[in-house]
């Protein structure tokens, strides 16, 4: 029997302490382009992060896991519109699930810079491809993310800690038959036409759709989400004011 003065520990045996990271910078905004390949179960991505220095810094360290980083560039933030012509290629190194980016010059406390990262991945966690198999042959072909608690780094570079919150603009490129859902409000859904072959079949001709979602409310990395599938959209209004959107698999619509 437990004694009255004995303290019952909440954590499980073998648990390790987790501490708030000591930050030299933060992320205020992320723009992310994601193109999944359902056959190879891979993603090709381009990310733009707005980095804000908390102290004078000469490098940026981000959490990543099993990402193949192809290139890193920086663009200075000025009062005029930013242009890729001003982009500078940055050196980087990867060690122990950290991406360390060497800046071309010291970023002064309070100043900001845009960092552009091009990468690909075959995620084992964080981003999941769902398909029919021998046990569930009628399973719908889908892809979706699950970042909690710290698995977003498997599909995009970030500070993978709930203390860091940022705005997002996520664009997802998918085959014609799919719908892509992400955080916030859908601001664009348009066709992307690739090299055409003879015939009128958009799928065979390489046509795809781009869905862009914007979330202006800052949120942590683990809440950044993407869901892709063959969905039907339905709408209704709550109290004649708030418009609600529902995305239902086509075979589940009643």
Question: Tens-digit pLDDT profile for the chain (254 aa)?
Answer: 556 566 666 777 777 777 777 899 999 999 999 999 999 999 999 999 999 999 999 999 999 999 999 999 999 987 445 556 789 999 999 999 999 999 999 999 999 999 999 999 999 999 999 999 999 998 999 999 999 989 999 999 999 999 999 999 999 999 999 999 999 999 999 987 654 444 555 555 578 999 999 999 999 999 999 999 999 999 888 887 888 889 999 887 76
Other residues' Cβ atoms within 10 Å of the Cβ of residue 213: 21
Q: pLDDT by residue (tens digit) across 42-84?
A: 999 999 999 999 999 999 999 999 999 999 999 998 744 555 6
Report which of 123, 70, 124 is spatially closest to residue 94, judged by C-alpha positions: 70
- Exposed (0-12), middle (13-18) or buried (19+): which is 142, by Cβ within 10 Å? middle
Q: Could you report the per-residue pLDDT of 149-171, keeping only the tens digit for each?
A: 899 999 999 999 999 999 999 99
Please choose, from the candidates 169, 187, 167, the residue with its C-alpha nearest in 3D space to the C-alpha of residue 226: 169
109 cis-preceded (ω within 30 degrees of 0):
no
Work out the number of other CB atoms within 10 angstroms of the CB of residue 216.
11
Alpha helices in 155-237 (DSSP H): none
Closest CA to 25 of 144, 80, 103, 107: 107
Token reading at 180: 């892509």
Q: Which two tokens stand for residue 247?
A: 């995305």
> Residue 142: which of 188, 174, 169 has the closest Cα?
174
Map out the domains of the chain with their CATH numbers. 25-121 (2.60.40.1730), 127-252 (2.60.40.1730)
Residue 242 has phi, psi (to 5 degrees) of -90, 120
What's the rounded Cα separation, in Å, for the pair 145 and 160? Answer: 14
Residue whose entry in the numeric block shows the structure tokens 């046509």 = 207
């Amino acid at each position: 029997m437990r004694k009255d003065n004995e303290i019952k520990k909440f954590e499980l045996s073998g648990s390790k302490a987790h501490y708030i990271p000591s930050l030299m910078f933060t992320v205020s905004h992320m723009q992310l382009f994601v193109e999944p390949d359902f056959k190879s179960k891979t993603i090709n991505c381009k990310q733009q992060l707005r980095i804000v220095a908390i102290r004078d810094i000469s490098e940026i360290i981000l959490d990543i896991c099993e990402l193949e980083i192809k290139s890193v560039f920086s663009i200075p933030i000025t009062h005029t519109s930013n242009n890729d012509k001003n982009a500078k290629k940055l050196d980087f190194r990867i060690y122990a699930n950290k991406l360390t980016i060497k800046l071309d010059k010291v970023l002064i406390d309070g100043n900001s810079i845009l960092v552009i990262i091009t990468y690909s991945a075959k995620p084992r966690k964080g981003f999941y491809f769902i398909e029919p198999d021998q046990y569930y042959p009628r399973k719908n072909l889908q892809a979706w993310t699950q970042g909690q608690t710290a698995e977003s780094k498997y599909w995009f570079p970030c500070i993978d800690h709930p203390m860091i919150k940022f705005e997002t603009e996520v664009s997802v490129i998918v085959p014609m038959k799919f719908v892509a859902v992400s955080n916030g409000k859908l601001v664009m859904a348009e066709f992307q036409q690739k090299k055409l072959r003879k015939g009128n079949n958009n799928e065979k001709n390489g046509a795809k759709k781009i869905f862009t979602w914007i979330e202006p409310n800052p949120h942590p990395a683990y809440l950044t989400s993407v869901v892709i599938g063959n969905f039907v959209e339905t709408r209704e209004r709550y109290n004649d004011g708030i418009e609600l959107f529902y995305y239902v698999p086509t075979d589940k619509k009643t």
